[in-house]
Homo-oligomer: A and B are copies of this chain.
């Protein structure tokens, strides 16, 4: 490829953007889009959101004066253009540095980033805090929250809107309306935005004006003249302003413009080839189970808070369920209460939530659901120790969920067990049941699991031994099998292997029975130790002579640290575990 001087070559910081003319900005937009395509197609990442925000981000840096003026990017997965313009373009031009920068805003990377943000709907509240801080400190800068229409449906964003509206000073909320969050947008706010778009901002009722915002619309969010003139109007306002910015998600890549959902976040190589091979996954097992139930019971309702993809709720699945499929948008709190209401009315709700996002619903799980013992079924996806960004760790769902009274939190280890647990959860009417969907390749025994799960907190002894007992929870049951084999090989110990199945309770009878022929119990859990499963086993044995070792992750935010490294750090390989056991029993 021939080396030519590009606009991007001249842009190393926001001040360079300020000297560009419109033609150059257009060229810069194309160049940024090419970078994003190439980089994201190599590493995977958020594609659609970033493609849509290119022109708007250039215009923001042209009009405002970052870092004095403060930008808060909601979710921040649409911040790639911002990163490119704020000294981090090497993370997109140099394939050796593709992984140097996180996919979200990160204050440690740049003074142009204010917060680490990865969960949605937080930007308005954070910005309101910055603005109030400015006011009490005597500052004069602009504070700008940039939030997608999909994120606007989250409770925190709405609380933020309500409060930002009465701040009494400068705050600018830019709503990037691309008519999509991850999947299709839902709800009254989406309809309102559509109405405003259709009427050129002149809809009869404007909820933002009703709340007290000055309202501007940018009908073509890829047109620099509109962007710049509107941002200039909003700049330095002494009161709350909301800018309704209409953009096209995936702009600049035809397939992404059409199939917005598939191109929201993509895997490496996704832009080159389309269909990945399909094989059985715990998500497809989930979807098949729900469809089967639905074929017999029309009160089955599948619910997702805007993440159907991770739940196996494919387009085909949604079509088959019809009105019994509900995407509530990014609104996890509502989703849990909604499921509770459905169960109360005798329907059979299945709510799928990612481990990281169930964090938004502690109070709803406790008050709306568990306290009322309504028999909803909640499925937690992706729970485990991963190498993900610090904002998307999935190791805290056990401490979060398992300490709530009344709830039954189950952790299956294979397909048949998962199906049996689903069956029981769906059939019973006494308990709110949460299942930690295995986060691994499907393991199948080929034998139907006939366990009676109504007998709560009964662990399963898979293999009887002595001296050491291994409690391998969920995903880590399989690690337990390896530990058992290695113990035999290295130390000649024939250990007892136990599948606890229940995260929320201690099988006191079984644990008591281990005392006579065991010296050490080890617990293995694919999650954070603090507040988790293993500590409860330790507490049970604490007044006795039994020794216990808890294996799991530590309470820390890790940021893109590989699973391999984490397993070393936390002693989660069979070898390291057996070494630790040897120190106790030898």
Contact = CB atoms under 8 A, between A and B. Distances in A.
Name the prevailing secondary structure of the A interface residues. helix
Given A137-B299, A299-B133, A301-B136, A371 B188 contact: no
Given A153-B159, A328-B163, A331-B159, A403 B531 contact: yes
B211 A340 contact: no
A116 B192 contact: no
A472 interface: no
A341 interface: yes
A555 interface: yes
A137 B538 contact: no
Contact of A331 (B163, B188, B301): B163
A367 B134 contact: no
Contact of A549 (B131, B187, B542): B542
Interface stretch (A17-25, A93-101, A200-208, A439-447): A200-208
A91 interface: no
Nearest to A132: B342
A403 B207 CA distance: 39
Nearest to A581: B543
Interface string A148-168: 000001111111111111100
B541 A406 contact: no
A136 B363 contact: no
Contacts of A569: none
B159 A154 contact: yes
Given A206-B205, A543-B548, A547-B543, A127 B341 contact: yes
A189 B205 contact: no
A360 B361 CA distance: 7
Taken together, the copies of this chain in the complex come to 2
Contact of A364 (B122, B298, B532): B122
A130 interface: yes
A560 interface: no
Nearest to A128: B338
Interface stretch (A60-68, A265-273, A344-352, A488-496): A344-352
A70 to B, nearest CB: 8
Nearest to A554: B405
A312 interface: no
Nearest to A300: B136
A44 interface: no
Interface in A365-389: 366-368, 370-372
Interface in A109-145: 114-119, 122, 125-137, 139
Interface stretch (A32-40, A274-282, A394-402): A394-402
A160 B210 contact: no
Nearest to A195: B210
Given A116-B372, A405-B557, 10 more contacts: A128-B334, A133-B299, A133-B343, A153-B162, A188-B210, A360-B363, A371-B390, A535-B536, A538-B542, A542-B550
24 contacts: A122-B364, A129-B343, A133-B346, A136-B299, A136-B301, A137-B299, A154-B155, A156-B364, A159-B331, A163-B328, A163-B334, A191-B211, A203-B210, A205-B205, A205-B207, A207-B211, A360-B363, A402-B530, A402-B531, A403-B555, A404-B555, A535-B539, A538-B538, A543-B547
